Amino acid sequence: MYRHTPENQRVIAGLYWRVLLISASLLVIFLIVYGVYSIFSTSRARDNFISTVQVPSAAPTLDKAKLQSAIESFRARESRFETLKTNKPSIVDPSL
């Protein structure tokens, strides 16, 4: 009965408007607080992770024999490539 009378509709509209405004304000404040909390918790987790990571004291040394064999294999591949450039393989072209 209260909302059906024309003189009371303005009161109800004002009440609804205040409820919507307060709800939206509370939602915005909650989202801002949640965003700040998320940023700081991520920052703290990163700091904790960085403090627990063990940094190796020295890099592993190279094995000269393995390094020399890798260099030799690259030289062999280079010489094979050069010979293939000068001496074309005798493969028939299937597109002809």
Say which residue, 92 or 31, is predicted with more confidence. 31
Q: What's the whole-number average pLDDT of the chain?
A: 84
CB 8, CB 2: distance < 8 Å: yes
CA distance 44 to 42: 5
Question: What is the model's pLDDT at position 3?
Answer: 62
Would you call 50 helix, strand, or coil by DSSP?
helix
Instruction: Please report, rounded to a whole number, the percentage of residues in the chain having pLDDT higher than 70.
Output: 83
Whether pLDDT at 9 is above 90: no
Residue-wise pLDDT for 45-68, tens only, equals 776 666 666 666 776 778 889 999
Say which residue, 70 or 11, is predicted with more confidence. 70
Cα 44 to Cα 33, 38, 41, 52, 57, distances in angstroms? 16, 10, 5, 12, 25
